[in-house]
Structure 1
Amino acid sequence: MDLLALADFNLVARYGGFGRAARATGRPKATLSRRVAELESSLELRLFERGARILKLTEEGRALYERTGTLLTELEQTAAVIASGGDRPRGRLRVSAPVFFSQTAMGKLAAGFALRYPEVRLEVTTEDRAVDMVEEGYDLVIRVNPDPDESLVGRIFLRDRLVVVASPGLARPADDIAVPAVVRGAGGQTTWKVTMPTGTSHIAVDPVLRLSSLLMVRDAVRAGLGAARLPVSLVSHHLAAGTLVHWGDVDAPEIALWTLYPSRRLLSARVSAFLDYLKQAFPMGTPDELAAYVGG
């Protein structure tokens, strides 16, 4: 396979058209078109659907782009590193992280990483949706309990768990009496199953306030509005200070934060450095470490 033709195909796929790729890279449009046509001929596959105003990847074209785009990028970066005489982290690093982790810890993490690696241009996007790493150009994503994905590899770097908490002034009612509750988002359960050293019980709940942020939920609970299910890392300081009380651990799977990256790419120095930095920040990956990091 002609690597030059493959590289030109990836340019056109990345920029969404021959003209756009030519303007962005300074490559002649006619050359890009000829190279892509030669690649299609050698593979005996149509890689683009060509319309009057639109150029769209075929299914085969998309598969080829997803499998070769990151590899070509890594080859370019490896050549640049060798030419510069070192393998220290440098260049742009794009990370997608969930909202709660970003609000509580990512600012401090990003600043510390940028100070340690000034040649890396870190860009962090905050969102809870499952981004397409290849299509959207992310080097690494952080996700909570992600669904299995054969195209990605990763590791757990933090664990947390949910607890039911309330202000000291709110007495826990009997199991058949609903307690006012502050919940995140729409819907939700009408009862919470919790475990205590004495056993398992159920708490009937009446949602009196719905909020989109766990930080807002915590603050509403501290104000005495109701009980809530919250990550223990977010409330451990308040439990220790007595400004919140613990009604039990939520009977649910643990919260696991994963770092994920494409499995077919060589791991760049930037990604490796960021993974190592997370490991240093949370060596044991416990909720107490996250609470201490956020509160420190």
Structure 2
Amino acid sequence: MSKYEELEAFARTVEAGSFTAAAKQLGVAKSAVSRRIQDLEARLDTQLIVRTTRKLTLTDQGRAFFERARVLLCDWEETEAIVSQNQKSISGIIRISAPLSFGVSHLGPALIEFQQLHPAIHLDVDFTDRRVDLISEGIDVAIRIGHLPDSGLIARKIANIRTIAVASPDYISHHGMPQTPDDLKGLFELRYSLRNTHRWSYVSPDGVPGELEIPPKLSASNGEFLRDAAIAGMGVLLEPSFLLYDDIRAGKLVQILPEYSWDELGAYAVYPPIRHLSARIRAIVDHIAKHCGGQKPYWDDF
């Protein structure tokens, strides 16, 4: 057993909080992680982790060793990254988490292209709207949409995300085109249930902010389903433009109050703070950002 494997098993177990999670990150059996840490403790003649049925607790020696081990692992990754950059090739596993609808529709082509450009890379992609814990679940980079809360994660904005109000032509024909936000109060909302607030925030053409709440006709946790409900004429919908642009181009949906600015969001690549960002993580974040188009993403061309 190499000293590096022992060190890595120990650090990943501490970061992940369990042998099981560390084993998943490392791609080995739980027993292998436990054995590596036992061998490390035996070699050092020091107990680093106190094991109970419910949790793992570091000893004083374990805490001191973990801080140094984390620095050593970062230095090792930095050394590998320098060599990889010199060889102009990258390899290894990249674990990615991304929102379902945005990920499949807009990241999917970029990830496939990236894999083709870098055949030595193994992408492990989790498309989910669940907010994952990057460290405990061993995720290298996550794509998140919205307003990012303060956290210990590093974030890079990869695209602006506009939200727009829409309805079907038939719905507008029957109820009339709203001329002001107050006119929306007499209509029914198709509500995205995972949004942090049920109020619609906006800024008027002359720069005056405001907000309103519309009674829901239908609530769901999937934006594509709500888009289909809007096309069917069931109500008005406030969603990111990346979900709606094709149907606006096709005339299946029309914008409501397009001169108003609704809630502005962002798409971000987030990753744990480390002293050196590995070459493969930097490469895939750069690739995704280039694909999305930054300040003027391609899905806003309608």
TM-score class, shorter-chain normalisation, is 0.7 to 0.9
2:190 equivalent in structure 1:
182
Rounded to whole Å, the distance in 1 between the matches of 2:238 and 2:93 is: 37
2:56 equivalent in structure 1:
56
* Partner SS for 1:248: coil
User: Given the superposition, is the C-alpha separation of residues 218 and 59 from structure 1 closer, same or farther in structure 2, using an over 3 Å criterion?
Assistant: farther
Q: Is the 8 A contact 1:21 1:27 kept in 2?
A: no
Does residue 24 of structure 1 match 2:32? yes
* Partner SS for 2:169: coil
* Cα deviation digits, residues 137-164 of structure 1 (max 9, x gap): 1111111222122x32221011112111
The one-letter amino acid paired with 1:246 is Q
Q: TM-score, normalised by structure 1?
A: 0.75
Structure 1 window deviating more from structure 2 (183-192 vs 161-170): it is 183-192
Q: CA deviation at 1:194?
A: 4.6
How many residues align? The count is 280
Mapping of residues 252-263 of structure 1, within 5 Å: 252-263=262-273
Q: Which ranges in structure 2 are unaligned for 5 or more consecutive residues?
A: none
* Partner SS for 1:34: helix
Identity of aligned residues (%): 28
2:218 equivalent in structure 1:
209
2:101 equivalent in structure 1:
100
Q: Decide which of 140, 147, 150 is 1:148's aligned counterpart.
A: 150
Rounded to whole Å, the distance in 2 between the matches of 1:188 and 1:146 is: 12
Rounded to whole Å, the distance in 2 between the matches of 1:261 and 1:130 is: 13
Q: CA deviation at 1:246?
A: 1.3
* Cα deviation digits, residues 65-117 of structure 1 (max 9, x gap): 58844851661684597499835110100111122321321221221111111
Rounded to whole Å, the distance in 2 between the matches of 1:278 and 1:176 is: 36
Rounded to whole Å, the distance in 1 between the matches of 2:12 and 2:184 is: 63
2:159 equivalent in structure 1:
158
Does residue 266 of structure 1 match 2:279? no
Q: Is the 8 A contact 1:81 1:87 kept in 2?
A: no
Rounded to whole Å, the distance in 1 between the matches of 2:133 and 2:66 is: 13
User: Given the superposition, is the C-alpha separation of residues 143 and 228 from structure 1 closer, same or farther in structure 2, using an over 3 Å criterion?
Assistant: same
User: Given the superposition, is the C-alpha separation of residues 175 and 89 from structure 1 closer, same or farther in structure 2, using an over 3 Å criterion?
Assistant: same
Structure 1 window deviating more from structure 2 (177-186 vs 270-279): it is 177-186
Q: Decide which of 246, 253, 257 is 1:248's aligned counterpart.
A: 257
Q: Which ranges in structure 1 are unaligned for 5 or more consecutive residues?
A: 41-46
Structure 1 window deviating more from structure 2 (270-279 vs 199-208): it is 199-208
Does residue 286 of structure 1 match 2:286? no
Structure 1 window deviating more from structure 2 (199-208 vs 92-101): it is 199-208
Q: CA deviation at 1:35?
A: 3.6
* Cα deviation digits, residues 20-69 of structure 1 (max 9, x gap): 9794269677533314643x5xxxxxx42234x56613387579658844
The one-letter amino acid paired with 2:193 is G
Q: Is the 8 A contact 1:12 1:21 kept in 2?
A: no
Structure 1 window deviating more from structure 2 (232-241 vs 91-100): it is 232-241
User: Given the superposition, is the C-alpha separation of residues 243 and 197 from structure 1 closer, same or farther in structure 2, using an over 3 Å criterion?
Assistant: farther
Q: CA deviation at 1:196?
A: 5.5
Mapping of residues 70-109 of structure 1, within 5 Å: 72=73, 75=76, 78-79=79-80, 82=83, 86-109=87-110
Structure 1 window deviating more from structure 2 (206-215 vs 19-28): it is 19-28
RMSD (CA atoms): 4.0
